[in-house]
Amino acid sequence: MSLPEPRPGQDGRVVIDAAFKADAPARYARLRALGPVHPAEFQTGLEGWVVVGYDLAREALTHPALLKDATPAAEALAAAGFVLHQPSVGLGAQMLEADPPEHTRLRTLAAAAFTPRRTAELAPRIERIAHGLIDAMPPSGVLDLVEAFNAPLPAVVIAELLGIPPEHHLDLRHWAGEALQVDSPGHRPALAALHALLAGLIADKRRHPQDDLLSALVAVRDQEDGRLSEQELVGTAMMLVVAGYESTVNLLGNAVLALLRHPDQLRLLRERPDLLPGAVEEFLRHDTSVERSTNRYAATDLELGGVRIPRGGMLTVALGSAGHDAPQAGGDPAVLDVTRPAARHLAFGHGVHHCLGAPLARLETVVALRTLLSRVPELEPAAPVDSLDSLDWIGSGIIRGVRSLPVRYRVG
């Protein structure tokens, strides 16, 4: 299939639309060849800049004048239909959209409940969930791997971690899937429904605490002299649900898709499951699930990569692109290599906003792939995976992944 060059918008801006996202690796490669930062138009109606080079991405993610505070961009945001500081029926009141010192306070309080011990203890349960999902499959045939395996696994993991009852798990998947697709008609209703569910559960956990993350966050809220407001408590829970689900379901899907496109690498991982921890780093580098960072806004006029960004200018970092520009040990960064000794990437961000849930995402992906490859000895695409026309990519937002992945398989 012959693909057009990135479509220029007004003043030569790159238009990051559904067609761009479907072919993101190739489109970003073309942009990197032209320079590390480019003016862009986004599906939300906003204009800004996108950083595509690794070194400049690291600089942008830690730049002291590129902040989450959108106040300098209030006029442009209002023109696009966004309202600053609106009540939290979204993801606003949480660490992902805060700058220090507020970010430091929120992250510290959340991390007190989201401990490494709690994450490590999840491994046996993740493995049981993975085996249960494979047990539920017919012995052989064709199915959508996203629906049957990739999506339910992280949904159950994050729901159980937070203490969300099983009767809400399917709703959780639907709402979390819509939450980051900002141009979807289901975006705001999904956020409102998720907000209502979590607010209700938080009230219940306060009356009847249990051994789960929501109860731990409630305890932080109630025992730390109100240093975590009720709005921040619900916002943090929403962020954990959406980020914990969306990043992992699509990381797992992109990893399986990469292996289906590279059967030699699939065979190698079947033979050498000990390579899986390093292979997950390579999947994160090669085609990560969080395609772009959340937005930053210039607090002052500044220069980045030789480009002037005015005060109030919006900027996002193409995290997936940066992994293809990073210096890599072991060869060509364009090549998928599950034996790469130390894959360098920015898939979980960089600096103070480095993903708090990165260890859990890594653990889930390693366990899920190890279980899938050991239990399903025959796995191949049921449609041509090298054709953009055969894959239904998520068309908006910062997430990269396919909505469905039809496979032909046999359970061993």
Residue 24 parent element (H or E)? helix 24-34
Q: Is the pLDDT of residue 123 over 90?
A: yes
Contact indicator for 25, 4 with CB cutoff of 8 Å: no
Residue 92, pLDDT score: 53
DSSP string, 260-315: HH-HHHHHHHHH-GGGHHHHHHHHHHHS-SB-SPPPEEESS-EEETTEEE-TT-EE
The whole-number pLDDT of residue 61 equals 97
Which residue has 């249990």 as its token pair? 210
Distance, CA of 68 to CA of 36 (rounded, Å): 21
Tens digits of residue pLDDT in 333-358: 889 999 998 889 999 999 999 998 89
Could you tell me which residues come within 8 angstroms of residue 237 by beta carbon, excluding any fewer than 6 positions away?
A: 162, 198, 202, 214, 217
Q: What is the DSSP letter of 88?
A: S
| Spatial CA neighbour of 63 closest among 315, 285, 312, 290 | 315
- pLDDT tens-digit map of 259-317: 999 999 999 999 999 999 999 999 999 999 999 999 999 999 999 999 999 999 999 99
Band the pLDDT of 32: cuts 50, 70, 90: very high
Mean pLDDT, residues 86-111: 74
Fold for 10-410, please state it.
Cytochrome p450 (1.10.630)
pTM of the model: 0.92
pLDDT attached to residue 33: 95
CA distances from 316 to 16, 100, 250, 336 (A): 12, 19, 20, 25
Residue 187 has pLDDT above 80, yes or no: no
Cβ atoms < 10 Å from Cβ of 219 = 15
**Percent of the chain whose predicted confidence (pLDDT) is above 70:** 92
Angstrom CA distances, 295 to 46, 100, 360, 397, stand at: 11, 16, 24, 11
> Closest by alpha carbon to 87, among 171, 190, 195, 193?
195
Q: Using CA atoms, how far apart are residues 25 and 403, in angstroms rounded to an integer?
A: 18
Domain regions of the chain by residue span: 10-410
Whose tokens are 């619900």? That residue is 234
Identify the weakest region by mean pLDDT among 61-65, 246-250, 328-332. Answer: 328-332
- Residues 344, 285: contact at Cβ < 8 Å? yes
Q: Give helix then strand counts, H and E, for the chain.
A: 17, 11
Nearest of 330, 328, 345, 326 to residue 284 by alpha carbon: 345
Tell me which of 335 and 93 has the higher pLDDT. 335
Q: How far apart are CA 114 and CA 110, in angstroms?
A: 6
Q: Tokens representing 311?
A: 């005060």
Distance of CA 236 to the CA centre of its chain: 16
Kindly give the pairing relationship between strand 378-381 and strand 66-67: unpaired
Strand, helix or coil for residue 293: coil
The tens digit of pLDDT for each residue in 379-391 reads 999 988 887 678 9
